[in-house]
Structure 1
């Protein structure tokens, strides 16, 4: 399927339809007893639609849609009161390609199974900043398999803490939600050497946040 501003299921190739059908089956098995097939199909196809205009990831659209739909379904379950008790932190920036991805990388690495981290962007990019990937690799954390993604209502509502980084008025605001605004330089267009101080400051802030949440770290 070519990049298009209008997503239609009829435009999908046979391979894409099969891939989405397989994804729906996997999600259905994972969320048995939690959500019905109709909800899973809706989340899967709306997730696909959100990535459909990103030509750079066109070959991986079914996989990205499945991964994002899974996150959204977990978020919806949390909103509906089906929680395992772990704190959820959402990191938001404009493109979800640099700062928020590095923050998520540190958070996931340090928190392990004790907390849940998500990230998103108000105008998500087509790929992660290579300098951010390289600088995180220097710290022993691989974020190369992550991908920029948007935020959705259920994801924001499910989060216990929303950390914003430069998205200003574009970041979602929900009453009663805890928000933290981290003023950090945007790594877009910077070299790996220039990104390192930003990376180190993000690690410091993530560690401090985990301490506030009483999440044990190595």
Structure 2
């Protein structure tokens, strides 16, 4: 969800990568439905977060991966306390989607302010 939302809000030229510490084989149907509710769809299949992805990033936003996420000095990290949508209803996943949207808006404003 975060990738689709970020790509819809980020200015041109900003590259968004998405990966997880324990990715599913495919986007969950309720997540797809929640994204469709705001006119979006997943951009890619879930994939494993690898150190080489982090090494080329300026910012890494995690959602509870803790010690399993690779750490690279010089990269800005934030961990967002956002519930996992797995097993949740459409109403719950839509609320999670809205939380992510608010966080992405905030992050993009803060990045723009320091550039």
TM-score between the two structures when normalised by the length of structure 1: 0.49
Q: Which residue of 2 aligns with 1:183?
A: 81
Provide the rounded CA distance (Å) in 1 between the counterparts of 2:77 and 2:16.
Answer: 15
C-alpha displacement at 1:112, in angstroms? 4.7
**SS where residue 61 of structure 2 aligns?**
strand
Structure ranking higher in helix proportion: 1
Query: Structure 2 matches for 1:41-52, cutoff 5 A?
Result: none
Provide the rounded CA distance (Å) in 2 between the counterparts of 1:212 and 1:113.
Answer: 16
Q: Which residue of 1 aligns with 2:93?
A: 195
**SS where residue 184 of structure 1 aligns?**
coil
Q: Is residue 118 from structure 1 mapped to residue 11 from structure 2 by the alignment?
A: no
Aligned residues: 113
Structure with bigger gyration radius: 1
Greater relative contact order (Cα < 8 A, sep 6+): 2
Q: Please give the root-mean-square deviation of Cα atoms over the aligned residues, in Å.
A: 1.4
Q: Is residue 130 from structure 1 mapped to residue 20 from structure 2 by the alignment?
A: no
Q: Is residue 208 from structure 1 mapped to residue 112 from structure 2 by the alignment?
A: no
User: Which runs of structure 1 show a deviation greater than 4 angstroms over 4 or more consecutive aligned residues?
Assistant: none
TM-score between the two structures when normalised by the length of structure 2: 0.91
Consecutive unaligned residues in structure 2, runs of 5 or more: none
